[in-house]
Structure 1
């Protein structure tokens, strides 16, 4: 879908402005993933401006921005992708205004397409159990995978947070894990007894074997918690592949990603009676509205709570005579 970007299509001075904008995002503690996405989005926009024969930012007006939005829709981008791209452009023009390159931002009145609100996929507790039990812990990789998915589900971590964990981030005595989340914000999250046991089993029986790679040499990143078969740090793509493998093995519904365990963590906590604000802290969300999106509660559970809590939810079939 994304057109190949050719750097020669854009003026050097425009690329310099973009570099300054991206640097400012880094100073605001935006994640590397966000900065990378915004870099692609803004380059794509600058290429469009160049093709239109306009100079950025002086000759970019609202009508040109609207044409770009229509252009993206014509390329069959998802509404969520278009929304992100336009958000990146709004940020770019805010930066231009702060730097005195434009007096007013033409992007301020640019609206993003309305993105339909989708409920996140959630597995039932029994399905999560089947998934975890499908992992063969007879070898170091199995021990590693069990520890990874126990943390994903037991502590609600993101995949990128798990692969970034270091040995010192696990507090075995307090049963806690220190996590560097989005925007380099650090939070401390409890680790359940089952998850901490899985991590200990991996550290004692699995990781020492993975620490020595195929050449018999120790890798450089010896403080990284989870290692590959060759003793190197894992990437999120590794977890994605393992998720697909075990979903199929456990005959659990497909079409989900490793992020489903974060959804399960939050939803199952709420269904167990946890406070929404507490779940927000555990997930590391800056806004409670984000937590509400992740932590939808099943209709069946709501019905059960209603029937147990409201004095007139059920009619007394045997009233006293």
Structure 2
């Protein structure tokens, strides 16, 4: 649906004689090369969102609109897009920043290829760590979810239990789970090869004994044929047997939560898992920064948000003051 009052459209720019000679296909190919399939999918989705905002017909036309008119117009357009995302669509700052990062990266690649001699540097939305809730459903709620999902022994129940335990026990992200293949599992060694967020190579993770047994039950039911580890069990033959989608996994966890009277999402399980890891590390005297290896965050600052919420220094000091 077109914007009622678009901030910028192709009609506002003369693209018949762009200020740079540019091959948009060359730029797109270079921009996406060397990235993981998940990253490519995310970048394409964000660029498509920007295309819809500009009301251009296709991505090559959008790229011309963005960079062919120079730094001033590119920054102006990016700022209008940022306002649209934050104020009109009211997206979360982290989502706004991810979409802006796609535009900055695109301009960086155009600069690297010598297509332009400037870079877009629109600032991110400020993200308050205090406003970011990393607690998830909480440990007691997770125990209830475990009990609920263990009730079923049919193929779907066994599959869903394995999905749940990978999400929670290893703090995996939704995409990390659905893109697993059978070849990524080594039950004898108790390891799992996972393609992490923003990574090009899979990393080997060790599974807890319980997780390993639950996953083995699903594989025994799934069969030994190569391919996706988790497949759709829908009655529709056109869908059944295909790789489970991230959307389907989201729905499985959401419906599990509904059966226990909770609002749960896959990433919430990861939040609770990492928060519990921080608590357990503190309890046994481990340096909580060791949890960085478990959470697989690239930046310690991200983990610090979990540590701050677990420690709740603000609340403890408030009790002292009020006491």
Tell me if the contact between 2:190 and 2:207 (Cα under 8 Å) persists in the aligned partners: yes
Q: Distance in 1 between matches of 2:206 and 2:301?
A: 23
Give the counterpart of 2:248 among 238, 242, 245: 238
Q: Distance in 2 between matches of 1:66 and 1:159?
A: 31
Tell me if the contact between 2:278 and 2:310 (Cα under 8 Å) persists in the aligned partners: no
Q: Cα 1:132–1:114, aligned 2, differ >3 Å: closer, same or farther?
A: same
Residues 195-221 of structure 1: per-residue CA shift (max 9 Å, x gap): 1111122222x324xx9xxxxxxxxx7
Q: Cα 1:68–1:60, aligned 2, differ >3 Å: closer, same or farther?
A: farther
Q: 1:112 aligns to what? A: 124
Q: Distance in 2 between matches of 1:180 and 1:54?
A: 34
Q: 1:84 aligns to what? A: 98
**Residues 1:159 and 2:160 are matched in the alignment:** no
Secondary structure at 1:188 match in 2: strand
Give the counterpart of 2:269 among 261, 270, 283: 261
Tell me if the contact between 2:162 and 2:214 (Cα under 8 Å) persists in the aligned partners: yes
Tell me if the contact between 2:32 and 2:40 (Cα under 8 Å) persists in the aligned partners: no
Q: Cα 1:281–1:73, aligned 2, differ >3 Å: closer, same or farther?
A: closer
Secondary structure at 2:96 match in 1: helix
**Residues 1:194 and 2:210 are matched in the alignment:** yes
Shift of 1:122: 2.2
Tell me if the contact between 2:183 and 2:226 (Cα under 8 Å) persists in the aligned partners: no
Q: 1:126 aligns to what? A: 140
Q: Cα 1:167–1:63, aligned 2, differ >3 Å: closer, same or farther?
A: closer
Tell me if the contact between 1:86 and 1:112 (Cα under 8 Å) persists in the aligned partners: yes
Give the counterpart of 1:26 among 21, 24, 33: 33
Q: 2:24 aligns to what? A: 17
Quick check: which has more Rg, 1 or 2?
Answer: 1
The Cα RMSD (Å) is: 3.7
Q: Cα 1:72–1:143, aligned 2, differ >3 Å: closer, same or farther?
A: closer
- TM-score after normalising by structure 2: 0.73
Tell me if the contact between 1:31 and 1:184 (Cα under 8 Å) persists in the aligned partners: no
Give matches, 1:1-321, under 5 Å: 16-17=23-24, 20-21=27-28, 23-29=30-36, 31-44=39-52, 47=55, 56-61=67-72, 62-73=75-86, 75-78=88-91, 79-105=93-119, 107-108=120-121, 110-117=122-129, 118-135=132-149, 136-182=151-197, 183-204=199-220, 206-208=221-223, 222-229=226-233, 230-251=240-261, 253-254=262-263, 256-273=264-281, 274-294=286-306, 296-299=308-311
Shift of 1:131: 0.3
Shift of 1:143: 0.7
Q: Distance in 2 between matches of 1:296 and 1:22?
A: 41
Unaligned runs of 5+ in 2: 234-239, 317-323
- TM-score after normalising by structure 1: 0.74
Q: Distance in 2 between matches of 1:31 and 1:3?
A: 28
Q: Distance in 1 between matches of 2:302 and 2:265?
A: 19
Q: Cα 1:71–1:163, aligned 2, differ >3 Å: closer, same or farther?
A: closer
